[in-house]
Amino acid sequence: MNYKSILFYLGIFSLLVTLFSIFNILYTIYFSFYINLNSYITTFLASLFVGSFFCFLGKKNSNKILLSEQIVFIILCFILIPILISIPYYLSIYDISFLNSYFESVSGFTATGFSIIRNVEIIDEPLLLWRSSSQWLGGLLFLLATIGTIGSKQIKIKPSYLVSGGASGRNFYNNFNVNFIKIVLIYSLLTIGLIFVFKIFNIRLLESFNLAFTVISSGGFFSKNYLSSIIINDIQVFVLSIALLLPIFNFFILFDIITKKFKFKNYQEDLHLATFIALSTTFFYFFINSNESFAKILLAVTSSIATSGLTIYSDNHNSALFFILLTIVGGSLISTSSGFKYTRIYILLKISYQEIIRIVKPINIIDKNLFNREAIIDDQDVKIAFLVFISFILSLFILSSILTFDSLSFESSFKLSILTLTNTLNSSLYGLDSVVFFDLSNLSKMSLICFMLLGKIEIIAILFLISKFIFRE
């Protein structure tokens, strides 16, 4: 195991924490929010030391990182970077314990949105901005991991190599500079664009920053207790709904449109998702709840598929199961959304249908093209999709069993387990807005932390890593 190369890339993400701590230091000085300034200075020094030290140790080995080592890097990054992010929570004046601080940082870094803070409106603005920026960092890592490692053809954990933009594969980290700069540039420009769009539609600048970081990462943190305090009219609701398409569709779709490389045949997955969103919204509006505005229903649907959970939907909880199922579906393979992912469901349904046809008409030729494109679904794709589904069910059973030992009902435990595994905010959309994470036992909090991480990393990635250690060639 080449630990020095792993430390090098871990150091790069530690330095990104340094960058955001500088932003927060400047923000606190400019607006005279000195109350927690020392916490950001401490974070700056800690992340700068860790990042510089790791990069120094591994700079000569940065081009020698194998796929199994890349997975180790991703796992360590999701576990260790939140420790740096937790420093401002722990050193703040709000008396947040280390476990609660780590819970908050993991929830942000995995773009889940669970919070131990009872009333976010009493929190100072720099800390609110820090919460939102933690989502941005986590979303960036998730994109890099998906495109470069867990979505590669050699591993097939997420079959993103089957769609446009997902063929970087084995050479991604060997060409880290080019790929990293490209992804960071697109990701940053989209974030800045969202800030301007939100500001144009009369959303306060700080809320625009927080909301942009939340939307682009499909997160659940925002700067008020209720989203309705930020989004106050149907036009703003509609704009937010459209913005939430960014973490649903393929990350490279806008880039290809701007560079005139867009071809419909390369984005059939996104066409399917757009059709699914349109049909779900229309069906719900006309047949389930026509009393609610179309814009609010569209927001509920896009927010659920994006695994964000943001909503101002005011319906009773009868439709909660419908929206929870949408979170399980998830968005594009190359996006910041979590969930099972639409393409995996498509693969399982298509193969199941073809197996039935094979039994009825055994002499028929079976079409294994994905979305009728050049990409071919093989048996391993099907097996892994099925294994991911089974691991999701087992994880759901284990986590919900643990949570039932706490003060939660079985229904709440079951729903919360699904939202944890899909990294989705526990909003009123799912009937779980009354859950107070601060009051949960330490066992429940630690369990939620573990499964929030597994929701991003996926159990199958860990199984792949274990198999590499057991069956060494």
pLDDT in tens, 240-288: 999 999 999 999 888 888 888 888 778 888 999 999 999 999 999 888 8
Say if residue 149's pLDDT is above 80. Answer: no
Query: Average pLDDT for residues 402-409, to the nearest whole number?
Result: 90
Query: Average pLDDT for residues 38-44, to the nearest whole number?
Result: 94
User: Which residues are bridge partners to 369 per DSSP?
Assistant: 376
395 half-sphere exposure, CB direction, 13 A CA radius: 25
* pLDDT score at 63: 67
Question: pLDDT > 70: what percent of the chain?
Answer: 92
CB-based contacts of 290, cutoff 8 Å, min separation 6: none
How sure is the predictor about 177, in pLDDT bands with cuts at 50, 70 and 90?
low
Question: pLDDT > 90: what percent of the chain?
Answer: 49
Say if residue 234's pLDDT is above 50. Answer: yes
* pLDDT score at 71: 85
pLDDT tens digits along 287-342: 887 778 889 999 999 999 999 999 887 655 578 888 999 999 999 988 999 988 99
pLDDT tens digits along 84-105: 999 999 999 999 999 999 999 9
**Cβ atoms 453, 107 nearer than 8 A:** no
Ramachandran class of 371: left when φ > 0, alpha when ψ lies in -120 to 50, beta otherwise: left
Q: How far is CA 467 from CA 68, 103, 146, 383, in A?
A: 10, 29, 20, 16
Identify the CA nearest to 65 among candidates 3, 11, 12.
3
* pLDDT score at 444: 95
* pLDDT score at 363: 62
**What is the radius of gyration, based on Cα positions, of the chain?**
22
Give the integer Cα–Cα distance in Å for 42 and 47: 8
Q: Rounded to two decimals, what is the model's pTM? A: 0.92
293: its two tokens: 């505005």
Identify the CA nearest to 143 among candidates 89, 56, 217.
217
* pLDDT score at 246: 94
Give the integer Cα–Cα distance in Å for 192 and 55: 29
3-class SS letters over 431-469: CCCCCCHHHCCHHHHHHHHHHHHHHHHCHHHHHHHHHHH
Q: Average pLDDT, whole number, for the chain? A: 86
Domain ranges of the chain: 1-473
Residue 376: strand, helix, or coil: strand
**Cβ atoms 36, 93 nearer than 8 A:** yes
| Sign of the CA dihedral with 319 first, then 320, 321, and 325 last | positive
pLDDT tens digits along 328-372: 999 998 899 998 899 889 888 888 877 777 777 666 666 667 776
Say if residue 466's pLDDT is above 80. Answer: no
